[in-house]
Structure 1
Amino acid sequence: MIRPMQATDAPDVLALLAWMDDAPEREVFAPDARDEQELRGECEDRVCLVAEDMDGAVQAYCGLAPFRDGLVLEGPLGDGDLPGLLARAVERADGLPVYAFAARDNLGAREALEACGFTPMHTTDFYTARVADLARHARIPQGYAATEHLAPAAYRALYRAAEDGWAGRLEWTDADLQAHFAREDVRLVALTRAGQPAGFAELELNTEASRADLTYLAVHPAERGQGLGRVLLALAAAEAAAFPELRDLRVRAHDHARPARALYAHAGLIHCRSVVTYLRDDTEGEA
């Protein structure tokens, strides 16, 4: 039976999250909480569904949360009637676009998603290396200067110029950008030449996971071909190295981002995981 999640289901959903954590190939986008009380609070404002067996035991979970221009699917997580669970979730989406994320090797979840009309958009590959190994190459090229701050207009212009597919930050106000970079877990490393931004690397520090995530690496088109990508990668690692608890630097690149993938390979980063992005958009083709 498929039904809305209840507060008493929290222990069973936590068990499913632990089951996912035990094997990388089971990964899907899922609730962050790994604590019963936090999980209940996290699910309060979401559409959350479970599938149970004949004995009433929870076999699978999925949920819907606001995301971009629509919703993001949490799950499907577990065994049992995953297509039925997803179909019920899609009914609750009210026609909004629904995104989903699953490990490339999570064939069960991916088959269920595709059976319910989700279309794979792209694959994102993740790479990792020791912070210390990358940081020892940190240097500032002659003619350039390093800074930890960019004016919102300068950041936005470089963000726009660096990658055609980047759009999320373009809608941020100056106040949004300033608040983001004021966070304790966010760092920006930028290079300028003659006072003009040439590139930047943006980090999010995850001390609980002993890891820094490189969320953006941008080089202005006019500055490409001079190795600034690798320079920024090393400078970002040096910034992370200021925190002894951060051992690893993780980066990501979509399957179409060949220059980024080549940069990470040449810098010695090792591939660690791949995630497929899906979309179900019932609004496509509407007038």
Structure 2
Amino acid sequence: MQATDAPDVLALLHWMDDAPEREVFAPDAREAAELQGECEDRVCLVAEGVDGEIRGYCALAPFRDGLALEGPLGTGDLHGLLARAVERADGLPIYAFSARDNLAARAALEAEGFTPMHTTDFYTARVAALARAARVPGDHAVAGTLAAAAYRALYRASEESWAGRLDWTDAEIEAHFARDDVELVVLSRGGQPVGFAELELNAEASRADLTYLAVHPAERGQGYGRILLALAAAEAAAHPEIRDLRARAHDHARAARALYARAGLTHCRAVVTYLRDDTEGEA
């Protein structure tokens, strides 16, 4: 990809924005200068049509133990783009993310050896409606902070797959929750946290994302998930610019899916996570 390709790539990004079924993991930038800045630390590839116009785009960026794939995006040869991206990955694992209904991208990914890992479903509701159920049980307390060690301990106990934050230092945890767009709702009983909910506020989209909801395994089955969901919505509703709350659950997270259904959230999108890992089976 050359700097002069940025306008054509931006046109592809806007084309993706026009239809949910075209969605893939893609750059956040929607202006040329921002896009060029994002591309500085990644391998960016484009496919040209016979007229020289950019018809396809994908990129590789550091992610977890390997790389994350942006795309494949476009109306051109997605298979050729993906083959070039795999060559440039130097054998590292590659993660990719596509809307469940993006059949063209998914077919290209699977033809190039990417395996679907799981589907993440997203749910949404008005914060005002959810916040009406907010209550704090009489022998409990709610706070907006939690010591880093206590946060890490509850996170470790309640999380089965999303373990990235266990590597965060105390300073990184504290810096995360010091951000203006991040809120933490902690529910405690007898001075001990039983669960927490994390929110990220997106004022531009008038939305709060429930990035994580944790209930200690020993405290499950007592309705704490529903209580924390409502308390998180009330926290989001305290920001006048926030109208909606969005939550997510992997396909194996049956308890979370049932919680969102009972609380009145509606399904709004689904994303399939793929992995190509050529290191599997190596000694």
TM-score if structure 2 supplies the norm length? Answer: 0.99
Other-structure match for 2:220: 224
Q: Does 1:281 align with 2:247?
A: no
Q: How many residues align?
A: 283
Per-residue CA deviation, residues 138-185 of structure 1 (Å, 9 max, x unaligned), is 110121111111111111111111122231111111011001000110
Identity of aligned residues (%): 81
SS of aligned partner of 2:41: coil
Question: Where do 5+ consecutive residues of structure 2 fail to align?
Answer: none
Shift of 1:109: 0.1
Residues in 2 aligned to 1:104 and 1:30: alpha-carbon distance in whole angstroms: 15
Other-structure match for 2:115: 119
Per-residue CA deviation, residues 200-243 of structure 1 (Å, 9 max, x unaligned), is 00000000111000000011111111111010001001111111
2:194 maps to amino acid: A
Q: Does 1:263 align with 2:259?
A: yes
Per-residue CA deviation, residues 119-138 of structure 1 (Å, 9 max, x unaligned), is 00000000000010001111
Residues in 1 aligned to 2:199 and 2:126: alpha-carbon distance in whole angstroms: 15
Alignment check: 8 A CA contact 1:31 1:39 kept = yes
Residues in 2 aligned to 1:154 and 1:166: alpha-carbon distance in whole angstroms: 17
* From 97, 100, 103, the counterpart of 1:104: 100
Other-structure match for 1:16: 12
1:46 maps to amino acid: R
Q: Does 1:60 align with 2:63?
A: no
Alignment of 1:1-287 (within 5 A): 5-287=1-283
Residues in 1 aligned to 2:43 and 2:93: alpha-carbon distance in whole angstroms: 15
Per-residue CA deviation, residues 232-283 of structure 1 (Å, 9 max, x unaligned), is 0010011111111111000000000000000000000000000000000111
Residues in 1 aligned to 2:187 and 2:162: alpha-carbon distance in whole angstroms: 20
2:80 maps to amino acid: G
SS of aligned partner of 1:16: helix
Alignment check: 8 A CA contact 1:160 1:166 kept = no
CA RMSD of aligned residues (A): 0.6
Residues in 1 aligned to 2:160 and 2:17: alpha-carbon distance in whole angstroms: 34
Alignment check: 8 A CA contact 1:198 1:220 kept = yes
Alignment check: 8 A CA contact 1:62 1:89 kept = yes
Residues in 2 aligned to 1:9 and 1:160: alpha-carbon distance in whole angstroms: 44
SS of aligned partner of 1:263: helix
Residues in 2 aligned to 1:89 and 1:225: alpha-carbon distance in whole angstroms: 46
Moved over 4 A (4+): none
Residues in 2 aligned to 1:210 and 1:187: alpha-carbon distance in whole angstroms: 15
Residues in 2 aligned to 1:231 and 1:203: alpha-carbon distance in whole angstroms: 15
Residues in 2 aligned to 1:117 and 1:7: alpha-carbon distance in whole angstroms: 30
SS of aligned partner of 1:146: strand
TM-score if structure 1 supplies the norm length? Answer: 0.98
